[in-house]
């Protein structure tokens, strides 16, 4: 499914095309794709919230498949092995950020389905250092959402720095929040969810949220930390206002609309903090996959055939899908 011109997803901008099969270069693996989960970042790329780095482009960066070609010098995996491919696909390894274990901030980083073709296709390429072994506990469709929605939520949860048995507010309840609710509840935190969708309110409660509603004013108490998943800057002030003293709000999205003016006393004073979260590290991925296995995490997916990618994007944008849309090849 190829993107040539950025347009609203309602205009079905992705087109099914035959393109040349990619070849694995030195140090790379070619994967025959079985499933690729849809991510809100894909919507931002398709609609033009993010500038295109490559044109035309095959989106998709939550990829699960089996290795069918190995480039020269790639020795870490075997042909036929199942692996996952995530958003981050290259860092220089030598900059000051890489040297201090912050490779997600590398200025020379490159990304799957953005700087190179991704997983809305039959084949995808990944450098062997950025391929992930996947736990046998998950089938292809259910492990795919962990590879970005899970990852960015996991990093946002870590950056939110919840105290033990803390109160966590999640604003927005898409793919990522479905996953992080389970992680937070299993860790012993009390989870509150704010979302516009009645279906999402019901799902949040099923997953263990202590409270779920559509109005900040109904929040039963102040939260210790919050994660903002919705890509709306206007939600930043009420989220900060919902925090207790010393509370931290981490913003999980790669794109956010403009944030309106903040009132220092209401939103930031008493050591409240606002943090952005950028991509993920490979260690984040390994840690999430291990914890997801340990707690028997359940992902909620809706399956679409590859030619229905436009509809999957539309359904995600309109919150008309339960959990994560997953394209099967």
Residue 323, pLDDT score: 86
Identical fold at 2-148+280-328 and 152-276?
no
CA distances to 92, 96, 226 from 43, rounded to whole Å, are 27, 31, 24
Task: Provide the Cα torsion 56, 58, 59, 62; round to 10°.
Answer: -160
**Which 3 state secondary structure label does DSSP give 2?**
strand
Residue 319, pLDDT score: 87
The answer to whether the CB of 272 falls within 8 A of the CB of 245 is yes
Per the listing, tokens 């679409």 go with 304
Pairing of strands 324-328, 301-305: parallel
Tokens, residue 54? 């490559």
Tell me how far apart the alpha carbons of residues 183 and 168 are, in angstroms, rounded to a whole number. 11
**Which 3 state secondary structure label does DSSP give 65?**
strand
Tell me how far apart the alpha carbons of residues 329 and 60 are, in angstroms, rounded to a whole number. 12
**Which 3 state secondary structure label does DSSP give 8?**
coil
Quickly name the fold that domain 2-148+280-328 has: Quinone Oxidoreductase; Chain A, domain 1 (3.90.180)
The answer to whether the CB of 312 falls within 8 A of the CB of 10 is no
pLDDT means per 10 residues, the chain with 329 residues, are 98 98 98 98 97 96 98 98 98 98 98 98 98 97 97 97 98 95 98 94 96 97 98 97 98 96 97 97 97 96 98 94 93
Residue 225, pLDDT score: 98
Furthest C-alpha separation in the chain: 59
Tell me how far apart the alpha carbons of residues 58 and 119 are, in angstroms, rounded to a whole number. 7
Neighbours of 54 (CB within 10 A): 12
Domain residue spans in the chain? 2-148+280-328, 152-276
Tell me how far apart the alpha carbons of residues 235 and 72 are, in angstroms, rounded to a whole number. 49
* Phi and psi, residue 183, nearest 5°: -65, -45
Asked, as a colleague might, if the bond just before 223 is cis with ω within 30 of 0, I would say no
Architecture of domain 152-276: 3-Layer(aba) Sandwich (3.40)
Residue 139, pLDDT score: 98
Tokens, residue 131? 């391929």
| Nearby residues of 190 by Cβ (< 8 Å), 6 or more positions away | 165, 166, 167, 168, 210
Per the listing, tokens 């860790």 go with 187
């Amino acid at each position: 499914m190829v993107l040539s011109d950025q347009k609203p997803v309602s205009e079905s901008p992705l087109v099914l095309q035959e393109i040349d099969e990619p070849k694995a270069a030195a140090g790379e693996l070619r994967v025959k794709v079985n499933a690729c989960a849809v991510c809100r970042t894909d919507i931002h790329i398709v609609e033009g919230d993010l500038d295109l780095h490559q044109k035309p482009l095959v989106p998709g960066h939550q990829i699960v498949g089996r290795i069918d070609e190995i480039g020269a010098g790639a020795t870490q995996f075997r042909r036929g092995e199942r692996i996952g491919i995530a958003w981050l696909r290259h860092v220089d390894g030598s900059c000051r950020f890489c040297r201090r274990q912050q490779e997600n901030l590398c200025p020379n980083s490159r990304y799957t389905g953005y700087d190179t073709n991704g997983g809305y296709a039959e084949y995808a390429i990944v450098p062997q250092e950025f391929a992930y072994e996947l736990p046998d506990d998950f089938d292809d469709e259910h492990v795919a959402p962990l590879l970005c929605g899970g990852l960015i939520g996991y990093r946002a949860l870590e950056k939110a720095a919840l105290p033990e048995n803390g109160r966590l507010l999640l604003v927005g309840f898409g793919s990522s929040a479905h996953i992080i609710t389970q992680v937070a509840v299993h860790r012993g935190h009390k989870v509150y969810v704010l979302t516009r969708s009645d279906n999402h309110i019901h799902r949040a409660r099923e997953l263990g949220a202590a409270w779920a509603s559509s109005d900040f004013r109904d929040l039963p108490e102040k939260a210790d930390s919050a994660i903002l998943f919705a890509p709306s800057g206007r939600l930043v002030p009420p989220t900060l206002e919902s925090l207790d003293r010393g509370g931290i709000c981490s913003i999980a999205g790669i794109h956010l609309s403009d944030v309106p003016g903040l009132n220092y006393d209401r939103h930031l004073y008493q050591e409240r903090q606002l943090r952005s979260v950028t991509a993920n590290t490979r260690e984040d991925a390994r840690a999430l996959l291990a914890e997801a296995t340990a707690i028997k995490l359940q992902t909620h997916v809706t399956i679409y055939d590859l030619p229905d990618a436009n509809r999957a994007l539309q359904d995600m944008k309109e919150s008309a899908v339960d959990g994560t849309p997953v394209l099967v090849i």
